[in-house]
């Protein structure tokens, strides 16, 4: 049995006035998604453990069948693994977002879609402005970067994700706890280093938001993850660009592929991702295809881009996949529309996300579209996200 899991991160949403009271999934034309829901089984999956904030890394671990509560310390070490940044057992690593902010609040959590090269230049200037032997800055994917804090594993810092901090008073959402003072010093140094940086001067000339502040969040420490094939008996591969998902895979010994042109943004090369996933399915038992362009559109609060990207996902990714799997290969296709992100606010949603299963051994349960409402009405919900993989493999 072959299994292909497509994660449409950020697909689930709330109803928007701009869409006539519909969600982007309801507003988009998605004949293939709807066929999967109609011919298979649709339901909902809880994306965050009870009492915890929705977070990409936790959900990535859960989709690999790992209880995120048991690996709660992982945090930013997943991104570190994806970027090849070493994190020693006594270190702590934090995500370091480069955001657009004034003296009172963050107004753009991605600084207008900052590029990796721009981030590298800005972080170089931050390292020169704030020189500390125990801190090192590492460029990641544009606005998402890392800071490694040597010997600081035992420090407990409470942070807020930049998307959740947008519009809030900075003092209310800035880092707190033991060690917070040093992080606040880094933030203040970044203000001075970025203020007249040529990267920001050029961005302003082009009418783009500048990156004016480094925002540390999502701390993590080294946590060993069990080897995936030994644990599940499945030979897996991941296709995508999202650092949380890639890092979680690599820490379990799962092979990863990032196709040319894959950016994680609305203009990403979706056709190349679909082709890579189908090719991998020929030689692997289980393939994960992670698509985060929807999340990027939602974080940018761009409902037009989100609807358009949902339709591209349907036509460029799911269409070729459904046609290929109809060729006789005994297989199952799973589509997960989460974690959900509210386009209105750019923040992650706590509500369960829709998912659907179709293929070998799956009996159609109801005629429905792939929407939040249809998934809710189906009466089928996975309350512990890490139980989805065992369910797929055992039933």
46 and 127 co-located in one domain = no
Q: For residues 240 and 385, state if they share a domain.
A: yes
Measured in Å, how far apart are the chain's first and last C-alpha atoms?
Answer: 11
Which candidate, 175, 215, 212, 174, places its Cα nearest to that of 193? 212
DSSP code at position 352? -
Domain boundary among 171, 190, 220: 220
The CATH number of residue 355's host domain is: 3.40.720.10
| Four-residue CA torsion sign, 226, 229, 232, 236 | positive
As a whole number of angstroms, the distance between CA 125 and CA 193 comes to: 6
Q: Give tens-digit pLDDT for 242-254.
A: 999 999 999 999 9
In terms of domains, do 104 and 187 share one?
A: yes
pLDDT band at 277 (very low <50, low <70, confident <90, very high): very high
Q: Is 174 helix (H, G, I), strand (E, B) or coil?
A: coil
pLDDT digits (tens, 9 = 90+) for 137-147: 999 988 889 99
Same domain, 160 and 280: no
Choice between 262 and 311, residue whose per-residue pLDDT is larger? 311
Say whether both 163 and 250 belong to one domain.
no
Same domain, 360 and 303: yes
Can you tell me the distance from the alpha carbon of 353 to that of 337, in angstroms, rounded to the nearest whole number? 6
Residues in Cβ contact with 312 at an 8 Å cutoff, skipping those fewer than 6 apart:
270, 293
Residues 307 and 364 in one domain: yes
- Indicate whether 89 and 169 sit together in one domain: yes
Q: Give the mean pLDDT of 339-357.
A: 94
> What does the pLDDT average to over 147-157?
95
Instruction: State yes or no: pLDDT of 366 exceeds 80.
Output: no
pLDDT at 330 over 90: no
pLDDT value, residue 26: 98
Same domain, 380 and 297: yes
Q: In the listed set 220, 237, 252, which residue is the last one of a domain according to the structure?
A: 220
For position 57, what pLDDT does the model report?
Answer: 86
Same domain (yes/no): 235, 375: yes
| Mean confidence (pLDDT) of the chain | 94
| DSSP type of residue 341 | B
Total domain count, the chain:
2
Q: Does residue 358 share a domain with residue 246? A: yes
Domain that holds residue 334: 2-74+224-394
Q: Do 161 and 53 meet the contact criterion of CB atoms below 8 Å apart?
A: yes
Per-residue pLDDT tens digits for 63-100: 999 999 999 899 999 999 999 999 999 999 999 999 99
> Do residues 206 and 272 both lie within one domain?
no
DSSP one-letter code for 385:
G
In angstroms, how far apart are the furthest CA atoms of the chain?
A: 61
Q: How far apart are CA 59 and CA 66, in angstroms?
A: 9
Please name every residue paired with 333 in a beta bridge, in sequence order, or none if there are none.
4, 358
What is the reported pLDDT for 72? 86
- For residues 166-184, give the mean pLDDT: 94
The predicted pLDDT at position 320 comes to 97
Pick the last residue of a domain from 170, 200, 220.
220
């Amino acid at each position: 049995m072959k299994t292909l899991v497509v994660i449409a991160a950020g697909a689930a949403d709330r109803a928007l006035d701009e869409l006539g009271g519909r969600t982007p999934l309801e507003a988009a034309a998605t004949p293939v998604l709807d066929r999967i829901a109609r011919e298979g089984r649709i339901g909902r999956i809880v994306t965050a453990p009870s009492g915890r904030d929705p977070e990409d890394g936790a959900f990535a671990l859960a989709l690999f069948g790992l209880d995120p509560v048991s690996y709660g310390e992982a945090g930013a070490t997943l991104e570190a693994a994806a970027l090849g940044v070493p994190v020693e057992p006594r270190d702590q690593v934090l995500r370091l977002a480069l955001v657009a902010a004034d003296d009172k609040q963050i107004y753009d959590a991605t600084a207008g879609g900052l590029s990796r090269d721009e981030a590298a230049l800005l972080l170089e200037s931050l390292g020169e402005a704030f020189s500390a032997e125990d801190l090192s800055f590492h460029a990641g994917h544009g606005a998402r970067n890392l800071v490694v804090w040597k010997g600081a594993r035992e420090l407990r810092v409470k942070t807020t994700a930049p998307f959740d901090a947008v519009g809030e008073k900075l003092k209310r959402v800035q880092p707190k706890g033991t060690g917070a003072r040093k992080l606040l010093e880094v933030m203040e140094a970044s203000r001075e280093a970025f203020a007249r940086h040529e990267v920001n001067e050029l961005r302003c000339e082009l009418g783009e938001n500048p990156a004016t502040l480094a925002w540390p969040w999502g701390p993590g420490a080294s946590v060993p993850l069990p080897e995936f094939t030994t644990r599940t008996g499945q030979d897996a591969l991941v296709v995508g660009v999202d650092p949380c998902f890639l890092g979680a895979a690599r820490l379990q010994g799962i092979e990863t592929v990032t196709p040319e042109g894959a950016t994680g943004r609305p203009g990403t090369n979706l056709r190349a991702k679909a082709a890579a996933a189908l090719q991998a399915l020929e030689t692997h038992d289980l393939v994960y295809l992670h698509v985060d362009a929807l999340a990027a559109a939602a974080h940018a609060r761009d409902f037009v881009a989100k609807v358009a990207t949902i339709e591209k996902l349907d036509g460029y990714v799911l269409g070729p996949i459904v046609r290929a799997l109809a060729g006789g290969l005994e297989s199952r296709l799973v589509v997960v529309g989460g974690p959900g992100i509210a386009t209105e606010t750019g923040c992650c949603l706590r509500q369960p996300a829709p998912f659907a299963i179709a293929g070998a051994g799956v009996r159609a349960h109801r005629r429905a579209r792939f929407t939040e409402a249809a998934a809710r009405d189906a009466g089928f919900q996975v309350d512990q996200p890490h139980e989805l993989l065992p369910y797929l493999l055992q039933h």
